Amino acid sequence: MIRTAVVGGTGYTGVELLRLLAGHPGVELAVITSRSEAGRPVAELFPNLRGALELEFSVPDVALLKSCELVFFATPNGTAMSMVPELLEAGVRVIDLAADFRLRGPELWEQWYGMPHACPGYLEEAVYGLPEINREAVRAARIVANPGCYPTAVQLGLLPLVERQLVDLSHLVADAKSGVSGAGRKPATGTLLCEASENFKAYGVAGHRHLPEIRQGLEAAAGRPVGLTFVPHLTPMIRGIHATLYAQLLDRDTDLQSLYETRYRDEAFVDVMPAGCHPETRSVRGANHCRIALHRPQDGDVVVVLSVIDNLVKGAAGQAVQNMNIMFGLDEQAGLGGVALLP
């Protein structure tokens, strides 16, 4: 059993992580921290965990965290980087679900997240935890930077095209929509029922924090600079991401369906649907899957890729558990066998 801790278990990502870990056959969940909820039973705050978790929230204590083999950080950006060096020095492995270790350069981090990085020396060591690209590196990693939700959907959707450089890499377009849970559990006017319900809007058009993360991943896959226009939208649903991706084909004769099926043939959590399908967010609700479908409207030279994930599962907690399984030599699908919820 892997002795684990979750730091910051009170947000939507945190409770989703607790749900998955509580049902994992290879995990001993030993510590769940929250300064604001210290001393309160976890199942009192999240009744869905009644009978599954008997722990109470505790104040973050590095000495206690050092007794674990693995620590998950489900905390706001900027929190993990203040604690990670001491944990790594103690031999504890870390999976950070926030953005603290996703970007390679400390200057880039400061530009997009508005604060200096507390431990820039660890940015190069951190492994970007998209298993479909970095599985072997994740296996040996001390610290894994769990990808963001939009970057997961967009990168998995474009990866086969970018790796083979079959499209114009200077003009990629990602039009993505997310459920309101992506904004987190902290109260905010924009996510109130009367504001978000029966409403649809774009945001972050001038530049969203996930843009440099997506670009970094695509450029690594391509081995050259990539031009990307990324526009996120907020939709009146709780969870789910739908990314509609556009690219100009350089070779119209390529069998794109075969390309994608071959690339993801051995990936348990990527489902390439039959050509012309329209994947729906509800088909991945609660599941650690990315469903992808390909289109070439009017048989033209533009390929349209549709990519859907649950932002809280494959876009966050489920992917973190997938990374844990890889790091500790477990079955990669352990604890992640749940079927999506319909309706």
Active site residues: 149
Tell me the angle at which helices 210-222 and 131-140 cross, rounded to the nearest 10 degrees.
Answer: 90
Q: Which residues of 280-302 are buried (b: 16+ CB within 10 A; e: fewer)?
A: ebbbbbbbbbbbbbbebeeeeee
CA distance 250 to 109: 34
DSSP letter assigned to residue 147: P
Q: Which of 19, 95, 85 is nearest to 336 (CA)?
A: 19
As a whole number of angstroms, the distance between CA 226 and CA 113 comes to 22
- How, if at all, do strands 241-248 and 172-178 pair? antiparallel
The two structure tokens encoding residue 238: 């709780």
Name the nearest CA neighbour of 226 among 263, 152, 153, 173. Answer: 173
Q: At what angle do helices 12-22 and 318-327 cross, to 10 degrees?
A: 50
Q: How far is CA 216 from CA 78, 81, 87, 199, 223, in A?
A: 20, 20, 27, 32, 10
